[in-house]
Structure 1
Amino acid sequence: MNKSFIHHVSVATLTLFFFSGCVMTNVSNEPEPIGDGNQSLEGQAINVLIPAGGIGQFNAWEARSKQFTKETGIEVIYHETPYENLMENIISEGISDSGFYDVVVFLDSMGPALHQFLQPLDSYVERDDFHVDRWPEAIVNLSTFEGTLYSLPIRAHVQMLFYREDLFNELNLEVPTTWDEFQEVSRIITEETDTYGIVPYYGAGNNGQNIPLWTAHLWSNGAELFDENLRPAFTTPEAIEATEAYVNLFSVDKVAPPGSVTFGEQDSRTSFRQGGGAMWIGWWWTYPEFNDPNMSAEEVAGNVSFASVPGWEGKSAQPSISTFPTAIMRSSEKRDAAWEFLQWLAEPEEELEIVQDHLTGESSPNQSSTVITQRDNLLNHELNDLTDGFYELAGENFERARALPTLTDWPRIADLLSSAISEMAAGAPVEESLNRVADRVEHLLERAGYYEEAMETKGEEGEASVE
């Protein structure tokens, strides 16, 4: 696998590019697919850009691509780039229009800023009768921008609750299904054992890692991030109540480790693996490492079970989701070959076999993956027998999950929210802090012209909405 650092454009240049309004103006003019889908693609080679880090699913793609090449004659060449350089590399590729990268994988929150460089997929989907509804709607929404499909959600994560089954049995505790129960169970565990009830992560930055646990509280209580006119809506009584419940775990209830206020997601996960807490809420892909004796403390490994994220009493739980979509570069001259590759990656059998081979020990350790995103596979009986129903429960969470907004300026909004969450966890007044950050977010959106666009949309369609 190549380590690719080509087509480098400085962060300063890219920032100037986006925030000076120098964006492409022809994004609505979708390039037509090359050919009718029946031509031979043999002999073509496509370049795929993925984030570095030894991710098992990507390693499995590379290993299994040899079979794809044998079947189609299309060679697949993988290139890695550090995660922190990923968006920069894709933007610089799009600006240069070199056609070097054909397929790219990125974090969903980057999508709104990147979509102008990506090939719309709707005409391919229609041409080949490709069924997008194989995935839960919330995941597909993160691959869609202004009604157009730009990527396939082949890698996706949903929040789940992980807990120390041994401690719950020892204290005769039920797994919490509401946030009130969650707080009470955390209190009991903290008082009656030598571990904390929960290991949250309030640290600012880290691509807004502290936001999804906040929105899981927020959304379930009927609160929203924005109203129908894109005005900040997280200052309502319901939002204040939800936020207080989230940050009070650390600042008032004292049921979280002292380091939680600065923890990123990885820090808190490590703390949980080492016995720092009895519960952890986060992305589902982490589950195997909690029970791995090579990664977790002796008292933790083999004792971690799973459940749905709690909700408010009498209201539906609404966990967060995150995806790493796979897309075709608009500048690619091999778009048909790239689409053939995307279809192959999205084959239900491919996804299922990667995970089954991992669970049964038939694949190399560096190809370990637990990621299943397609509805039928999440309900697969054999897979759920191997995992005690893990995927069926995850599927239920996917169906009721919600995604963060697909706004071009979301990364800047997320930075503001993330900092405010960290400050509130450290003791800043919740209502005052939410009002202050709401003013800053509204000012940012106003300067970016969102409210002018919303008024135009409202005039044309009768309403404005946030996806």
Structure 2
Amino acid sequence: MRKRTFLASVATAAALALTPVAALADGHSEKYNLLPGKPFEGTKLNILSVVTPQFDGLMLRDAEFTELTGIETEWTFIPFGSLQEKINAEGIAANGTFDVVNYLDSWGPPNAHWLTRIDDLMARDGISMDRYPAAFARSAQFEGETLGFPLRAHPQLMFYRKDLIPEPPQTWEDVVRIGKELQETNPDISPLALYYNNDGNRQNLFIWINFLWAAGADIFNEDGTAAWASPEGLQATKDYIALHTEHGVTNPNSLAFVEQDARQSFMQGNSAMIPVWWWAYSGFYNPDSSTLTKDQVGFVGMPSYQGTTKTYAISMPFSISSYSENQDAAWEFLKWLSNPEMDKANAVEREVGGKTIVNNVVTHISSLQDEAVNAANDGIQAAAWDSLQQSDIMPQIPEWPEVGDILSAAIAEAAAGGDVEELMTAAAERADKVLRRAGRIE
């Protein structure tokens, strides 16, 4: 079945790639470079997406897509905590239930065998991944090929209580200093909400990797072996863990916290600082979810470590399933869904189809630098653009989920009081066994 589906996919892509470029350029629809004449009218696409207001806003606009193309859409929204299991099940079933799927970037490599490459289609239709920040673009690619578009993507920012912290932290040393001052002046509020829990989604690596990269260390060496147990990597990890075990400036529940718990702690006024994805901003002052007002919430770039700032960026691309029988129509949908006009409108307009949508997530460089987008969102895109200048992504290899789980477990044990050097060295040895078994190292 997989072979037949793959061959059909290749044949479709080849046929489209052979369509004369000049004819396409002359005949495309006026909007979004869609094909003329509604060639896929009557097709129905099934889209699998994570639950988020950003994608609610896109879904509520898709009547325009149907009007332009005659293609109908059916969206299925899945909470993030259940999405990875759903994506894995789709790959195993190989039945094309969903034509377009949404996933976390680090899940792309292990599922790349059933995600359609779109480089030839982009070249045909004049679309370049250069419209995205470099880290976002890389997050939707695997082994030099493009799997989809990073339509939901996040830089990291440090959010803080403006009413409690007059000068936001610029370094992690500042975080510790401010934290200790807050413990004296506001003992009922924890200085910093972190998330050390080994949750299965490797969230406790998200801040740790800032320390690792800034120290000049990395996850893998050039020969593919684990690199985090180097002297620089071990010291960086010790300093990350020390925020909780030595300095005591983290929320005491940080060992049990996942990212959502840390965000709740900040929103409920129980923690004064939180390093987290930029999308969380609107929720931090939403009266339906937070006790804070907008005037109390500030944001800055991520703190530096040892004089260097290098941050982790993440994305959730949309890709076409190679098992889909509607790949041509799905490509039209991706073109419409990913266009820069949509990106901007979805971050500026606050009501779509009679529903309130509050979303600050954009992924195009043009939107990040757009004055109207920044004006509508308190300048958070400009702060994000600065953060993205020195951002990178998790390793894009099929073995990363298994290796990342090993790392995540070690970080959780270290935060609970375990020996950092022993745990991280043992994790490196276990990871090398995984990579050797996979043939990535000798």
- TM-score, shorter chain, exceeding 0.5: yes
Deviations 1:232-252 (A, max 9, x none): 111122212211221111111
- Give the drift of 1:23: 11
* Structure 2 residue aligned with 1:372: 362
Report the alpha carbon displacement of residue 372 of structure 1 after superposing the two structures with TM.
Answer: 0.6
Alignment partner of 2:291: what SS?
coil
Q: Which residue of 1 aligns with 2:65?
A: 68
Shift of 1:145: 0.7
Corresponding residue of 1:43 = 42
SS of the counterpart of 2:441? helix
Sort the Cα spacing of 1:43 and 1:210 in 2 relative to 1 into closer, same or farther, 3 A. same
Change (3 A) 1:96 1:206: closer
* Aligned equivalent of 1:190: 183
Matched residue SS, 2:75: strand
Q: 1:107 maps to what in 2? A: 104
> What residue in structure 2 maps to residue 57 of structure 1?
54
Q: Indicate the residue corresponding to 1:120 in structure 2.
A: 117
Partner of 1:5: none
Q: How does 1:417-432 map to 2 (within 5 A)?
A: 417-432=407-422
- For 1:149-228, list aligned pairs within 5 A: 149-169=146-166, 174-194=167-187, 195-228=189-222
Question: For residues 83 and 31 of structure 1, what CA distance do their matches in structure 2 show?
Answer: 34
1:132 and 1:223, CA in 2 relative to 1: closer, same or farther beyond 3 A? same
Structure 2 residue identity aligned to 1:309: M
Q: C-alpha displacement at 1:91, in angstroms? A: 4.3
Count of residues paired in the alignment: 420
Residue 464 of structure 1 is matched in structure 2 by none
Amino acid at match of 1:143: A
Evaluate the alpha carbon distance shift between residue 204 and residue 364 of structure 1 in structure 2; reply closer, same or farther with a 3 A threshold. Answer: farther
Letter of the structure 1 residue corresponding to residue 413 of structure 2: E
Q: Answer whether contact 2:61 2:353 (CA < 8 A) is retained.
A: no
Measure the CA separation in 2 of the matches of 1:86 and 1:175. 35
Partner residue, 1:235: 229
SS of 2:164 mapped into structure 1: helix
Task: Tell me how far apart the structure 2 counterparts of residues 427 and 404 of structure 1 sit (CA, whole Å).
Answer: 26
Compute the displacement of 1:326 (Å).
Answer: 0.3
Aligned to 2:331: 339
Look up the SS of the partner of 2:74 in the other structure: strand
Alignment of 1:254-293 (within 5 A): 254-293=248-287
Contact 2:157–2:278 under 8 Å retained in 1: yes
Work out the CA distance in 1 between the residues paired with 2:366 and 2:431: 40
Work out whether residues 151 and 327 of structure 1, in 8 Å CA contact, stay in contact via their aligned partners in 2: yes
Letter in 1 for 2:265: S
Report the Cα offset of residue 266 of structure 1: 0.6
From 123, 134, 144, give the equivalent of 2:141: 144
The 3 A distance-change label for structure 1 pair 366 and 416 is: farther
Q: Is the 8 A contact 1:160 1:306 kept in 2?
A: yes
CA distance in 2, matches of 1:264, 1:407: 24
Distance 2:307 2:379 in 1: 25
CA shift at 1:228, angstroms?
0.6
Partner of 2:29: none
1:317-466 equivalent positions in 2, closer than 5 A: 317-358=309-350, 364-365=354-355, 367-452=357-442
Q: Which has the larger displacement, 58-67 or 85-94?
A: 85-94
TM-score by length of 2: 0.89
Out of 396-405 and 263-272, give the one that drifted further: 396-405
Per-residue CA deviations over 1:214-242 (Å, capped at 9, x if unaligned) read 00111111111111111111112221221
Shift of 1:343: 0.8
Q: In the alignment, residue 302 of structure 1 is paired with which amino acid?
A: D
Residues 143-177 of structure 1, C-alpha deviations (whole Å, 9 max, x = no match): 111111111111111111000011113xxxx2221
Given residue 381 of structure 2, which amino acid in structure 1 is its aligned partner?
Answer: Y
Q: Percent identity?
A: 34
Q: Could you list the per-position Cα deviations for residues 396-453 of structure 1 after superposition, in whole angstroms to 9, with x for gaps in the alignment?
A: 212321101111111111111111111111111211221111111111211222114x
Q: Would you say the 8 A contact 1:261–1:422 is kept in 2?
A: yes
Residue pair 2:214, 2:306 contacting (<8 A) in 1 also: no
Unpaired runs of 5+ in structure 2? 25-34
Counterpart Cα distance in 2 of 1:112 and 1:330: 14
One-letter code aligned to 2:111: L
Question: Secondary structure, in 3 states, of the residue corresponding to 1:41?
Answer: coil
- In 1, the alpha carbon distance for the partners of 2:90 and 2:331 equals 19
AA in 2 matched with 1:175: P
Counterpart of 2:394, as a letter, is L
What is the letter of the counterpart of residue 326 of structure 1?
F
Moved more, 221-230 or 306-315: 306-315
Q: CA deviation at 1:99?
A: 3.2
Which blocks of at least 5 consecutive residues in structure 1 are unaligned? Answer: 1-21, 453-467
Q: Encode CA deviations 1:311-358: one digit per residue, 9 max, x unaligned.
A: 12432x111111110000112222121111101111111111111112
Is 1:303 the counterpart of 2:293? The answer is no
Check 1:96–1:253 CA distance in 2 against 1; reply closer, same or farther (3 A cut): closer
How do 1:130-141 residues align onto structure 2 when only pairs under 5 Å count?
Answer: 130-141=127-138
| Aligned residue identity for 2:71 | I
SS in 2 for 1:228: coil
Q: Structure 1 counterpart of 2:209, which letter?
A: T
Distance (whole Å) between structure 1 residues aligned to residue 62 and residue 366 of structure 2: 23
Partners of 1:154 and 1:325 within 8 A in 2:
yes
Question: Structure 1 residues 175 and 336, CA, compared in 2 at 3 Å: closer, same or farther?
Answer: same
Q: Equivalents in 2 of 1:177, 1:89: separation in Å?
A: 40
1:99·1:331 contact (CA, 8 Å) conserved in 2? yes
Higher mean Cα deviation, 212-221 or 235-244? 235-244
For residues 247 and 364 of structure 1, what CA distance do their matches in structure 2 show?
Answer: 46
